[in-house]
Amino acid sequence: MLIVLEPEINQEQKNTILNILRDGRCIFREITSTGQTIIGATGDAGHSPEFFENLPGVVKVIPVKTAFKLVSRQLHPEDTRVRIGDVEVGGERIVVIAGPCAVESRQQALAIAREVRNSGAVLFRGGAFKPRTSPYAFQGLGEDGLKILAEVRETVGMPVVTEITTPAQADLIMKYVDVVQIGARNMQNFDLLKCVGRLGKPVILKRGLSATIEEWLMSAEYILSEGNGNVILCERGIRTFEPYTRNTLDLSAIPVIKALTHLPVIIDPSHATGMREKVSPMARAGIAAGADGLMIEVHNDPDRALSDGAQSLYPNQFFQLMRDIYVIAPVVGKQLDFGYLDKTRTARAVKKTTGKEPKAACLGEMGSNSHRACIQYFGSDVTPLSMRSFREIFDSVNSGAADFGIIPLENSLAGSIHENYDLLLEYDFRIIGEITLRIKHDLLCLPGTKIEEIRRVHSHPQVFRQCRQYLDRHPDWDLVFVTDSAQAVKQIREAGDKADAALAGKDAAEIYGMEVLEEGIETNPRNFTRFVVISATPPTNGSRRKSSLVYSTGNQPGALFATLKIFADNGINLVKLESRPIHGKPWEYMFYIDLEGDIESDEFGPVLGRLREKTDFFKILGSY
Ligand code: PEP
Ligand code: MN
């Protein structure tokens, strides 16, 4: 039963409810979500739902039919985000956990950790207590293994995950690791579940070899009922009649889980398939199906691994998989971020120096694509600030009102956003990162509106252009231009006229309580926008894979070619070249270049020198 409380309920009224639940020996929990306070109670309180509904301070009572209560989405409609140091599981950034099956030695663990971190993994895994089918197989290094994991965290800078196999290991787990894993074989070890519930550390709960989804969720319920809400579910394959793979990865569990529970779910394709060459295809499928992350076994010498070598990826295979996930994630509205851990450190550094929560200026209201870009880039570490123009974004970074700015630079259908290229030249900021979003447009209306009632559609001109084919089917609609699509949604909500609709994204519908009447109405679904993040003070940490430059050359034959030859001679891959008119100098142009590599690294020193010689004006916009 879920008891939804009035916002103005007083403590005395609340205590009355809690005392009745306590007397009825119910297990209950108070949860605040989307501004509402809810008491979730399980057990027979000895009173009907109507009885509770009539108590002062209660809005309504929702009976939850499922056996699981605390994990149910009914209780907690919003996704739970499990925080592990700088990492957040369950948000819009894909979390990849990688490492060997077992910690075998200090050298092995450190070497693999460095490799997987460079490839974008954010958590390191490694078993120290291995539950093995055979008592004669390698059982793990025990506490020595945990000490190695702690060293990995300190030296490589990744939080670490390991499996607990008995409550007797609780103290050691508390001492050395960040996330505790319940293995498939222990999914219904109820004492162990209660133990990790009490530990309070984030838990990865693997699905049992032959557990139904409901049994799995009931195990999660054990952990939550002990007061630990930080549970991440992990689908790792179940036993079926199919012997070809070690287990059968139940991909359909992902959408089922997403509907039933608010807890995040990740996929372990290593144990699911048991075969190296099957791991990457299933990992890609898992992300496409909506998983929040992956757990992948990686080994630097899998042929000599002490456990699960056959299913462990080589580090370079892991890197290739991560590149694929990087491409797939935006299609399902998420991101794989190679600089995830460095980024949170950047945000934290800002907080440390300014003493304030870091802020990023972006165009439009909450729910705009720029806001989405901000949230997907920084997670919840940075607060988005709504701006009305691109220049306002640059000005607020300039004045220090914002620590970062998020600006769109190009759209895959409409091309470059020239205003921002010009502003990058005018202001002296650095590009510190980039993010690509898939842009989907929906037709949003007030709840209960029928399509025949719509007379006017509000949005940004760019959005109308991207939805041309759909709009052509509704020639009687008037198009109303606004500065950003989320602004349109907000205005319509406030005006409350069913004749008004907006073209905007799903996020805006959720934020402003609007209904999606038609989904995905953009003409071409391959619609991506690349945003960059600007800052007045570039971070010093982090790896840089790309650089952006702007320069002009003299007006003589072969001047541009001479600069391009420098890139060609040095094997530097250009990924973008764009020319823009120089203001006040008709028919003279600036060349904007994006290239692969860190142009400011020592390795590129001579290249930089030669470029400066061959150009009249030269500016590095950033390496990121
Ligand atoms: C593991 O993660 O190494 C492991 C033993 O997994 P599972 O419990 O899924 O078999
Ligand atoms: Mn394993």
Cα(186) to centroid of ligand 1, in Å? 10
Helical (H) or strand (E) element with 320: helix 315-328
Q: Closest-lying ligand to the alpha carbon of 189?
A: 1
Cα(282) to centroid of ligand 2, in Å? 16
Q: Of 75, 10, 81, 8, which is closest to residue 39 (Cα–Cα)? A: 75
Question: Which residue positions in the chain have pLDDT lower than 70?
Answer: 32-36
For ligand 1, whether the C-beta of 205 sits within 6 Å is: no
Residues of the chain with CATH 3.40.190.10: 340-439+528-535, 442-518
Q: Point out the ligand 1 atom lying closest to the alpha carbon of residue 183.
A: 8
Q: Which residues are catalytic?
A: 529, 531
Q: Whose CA is nearest to atom 4 of ligand 1?
A: 183
Dist. CA 109–CA 99, nearest whole Å: 8
User: Across 132-187, where does the E strand assignment appear?
Assistant: 160-164, 179-182
Q: Point out the ligand 1 atom lying closest to the alpha carbon of residue 308.
A: 3
User: Mind listing the pLDDT tens digit for each residue in 381-437?
Assistant: 899 999 999 999 999 999 999 999 999 999 998 889 999 999 999 999 999 999 999
Q: Whose CA is nearest to atom 1 of ligand 1?
A: 101
How many angstroms from the chain centroid is the CA of residue 321? 17
Residue with tokens 């195990």: 219
Q: Closest-lying ligand to the alpha carbon of 266?
A: 1
CATH of domain 546-623: 3.30.70.260
Cα(310) to centroid of ligand 2, in Å? 10
Residues of the chain with CATH 3.20.20.70: 82-332
Residue range 2-62 forms a domain whose CATH class is alpha beta
Residues of the chain with CATH 3.30.70.260: 546-623
Helical (H) or strand (E) element with 132: none
Superfamily of domain 442-518: Periplasmic binding protein-like II (3.40.190.10)
Which tokens is 19 given?
A: 């005392």
Q: Of 133, 164, 181, 216, which is best to mutate to test ligand 1, by the most ligand atoms within 8 angstroms of its C-beta?
A: 181
Q: CB of 153 within 8 A of CB of 160?
A: yes
Q: Of 395, 394, 392, 373, which is closest to residue 384 (Cα–Cα)? A: 373
pTM of the predicted model, to two decimals? 0.90
Which tokens is 253 given?
A: 């569990």
One CATH from 3.20.20.70, 3.40.50.720, 3.40.50.300, 3.40.47.10 for 82-332: 3.20.20.70
Give the pLDDT score at 32.
61
Fold of the CATH domain 340-439+528-535? D-Maltodextrin-Binding Protein; domain 2 (3.40.190)
**DSSP β-bridge partners for residue 445:** 501, 515
Which tokens is 154 given?
A: 């300190």
Give the pLDDT score at 225.
86
Give the pLDDT score at 124.
98
